[in-house]
Structure 1
Amino acid sequence: MKLIKLHQSKFTISPISHVFLVLLLQFKVVVTSTTTCPAPNQVLQDHTYSWQSEWSPLSCAGLCLQDTACSAFSFCKDAKRCELHNVTAEQYPGDLQVDVNCTYYEVSKEDNDTKWRSQSNLTTCNSSPFEYVKPSSPDTTHRFIFPPFDPAEVFVMVFSVRASSTVYVGLAEEKGTYHRRMYEIAFGEKNDDKVRIRKCHKCNILHQVDLLGLMSADEYHHFWVMNYNGLTMVGKRGQPAFFTWQDPGPLTARWASIAAKNNVHADWVFHSFGNFQLCKVCGSP
């Protein structure tokens, strides 16, 4: 991999360019993962030191990654139960038991030597990206399925979505609150050709960009969203931002959510979220 040296004396960059540089560095830094792939239909028994209910696999991963004592976790889908383990199945292989409702995960916490990123690189591996299905419903309720993120750091979410009509990404100050004090980014509003941002659900449109073919019921479309100190940027995966807006009165967002238009079925795949890099292939550099 070639390294490109940037000499500060040669040029200056705008605040937006600076944040986009941070974003690119976050995407380009490659960390060798030493984690094992998850074990579906299995759970690590007798080594749970803490648990939570009503969590998604993403929230469970975030809970473990933010706890220095956590070395692995199990998520049981029927009970939506997140179990944190302070040991791994490699240490206690006989305690990894069959349970068709559970999946066992191991995580790695590797030091990071890049000043543009968080002080630690938090990684959880999965044989495929984390998936979430939002069945059609008569309302546009936001689902807060993620762990909280640090508003003092650059927030980035990379995802793919398949839906016949409008979907939303929310960034809220409080969990569960989407009718006030939340950035709501709409993908595919107004005949599937607009990306818009508001500061709450159904509030006034503050900025919009026209872009055809944003949504599809048959294939996934791939996007990234970045937010930092009121600056929101949106782009297609692997491409520069096509949407940029600076809030003159920034919110202190720390909770992300997703939603879909009334009666729209949406399939989501999350490749990375905040400071959590979600590996697509375990054990690969």
Structure 2
Amino acid sequence: MSDTSPSHSTGHSEDEIDLLDLLVVLADNIKLLVAVPICTGLLGLGAGFLLTPTYESRSVLSVPSTPSMIGQQDVIASYVRAADVLVAAGREAQIGPALTDGKLLKKMEVLVNVSVGRQDKLITLTTQGATPESAQQLNQVLWKLALPKSIPQTSDMARLNTQLTAEKERLTSGLALEASTARTLQNGSANESTARLYGELLASNSKRLERIAELEALMEGVTAKSLTQQATLPEDPIKPKKAMIAVAAGLGGGFLTLLFIFARHALRTASRNPEQAEKIRRMRQAVGLKT
């Protein structure tokens, strides 16, 4: 028992000495540990001011919620993502005038993002630019080029026009019959079947009006009138985030300083031990440094 206690005490003392050595090393280099992170943080902040800012414009489109428009949100979003629309918009917005179509397309794919909401089915378009005006202009140009694609082509337009004409003719007949039935009811010479017929005519003509409005909307396509939020003019850039850059640079500088201090301390300590000194000599020789 008398032999065991001193050995535990000695080991515990050695651990305390090692910890104290580390604290002493940190205390000896406290100025370096404070100065380097501050300097690197300030350098990072300065670099943030030198980087080109990026602004983001946002707009929202709401497609009419009619049966014939079901699924059109994804179609219109695909129009915005189409390669010909992206390249044409890039040319009109003067984004990389000297770039080839392939390189311009890759750049536009980075600057443009379009998404469709899962619940509300709203189409959100975000565009980026070096200035607030360029970001907003690109957003507007994309809608100008993409929305006309929602207008039916020649064959589809002819089919819709035929349907519209037929619906209008049916509506005219229905309205005439509705007016005639109403006069009969007003004269008091109507029976229960006449009243029921009048109610059916009102419902039928109402549905026919809805169908005519739906066909006209299809023929017109989705227009800028459906934009629930016009392209915004951003005030503040989304990047670079100067504060984050400064903090990251400061933390990185502090971490590297710690590594340098501990590595230097380890080398100095090892040089006093012949065995460790030999290992260091072999390491320096292996990497081509003078021993």
> Which TM-score band (shorter chain)?
under 0.3
Higher strand share: 1
Higher helix share: 2
Q: TM-score, normalised by structure 2?
A: 0.22
Please say which structure displays the higher CA radius of gyration. Answer: 2
With CA pairs under 8 Å and 6+ residues apart, which has the higher RCO, 1 or 2?
Answer: 2
Q: TM-score, normalised by structure 1?
A: 0.23
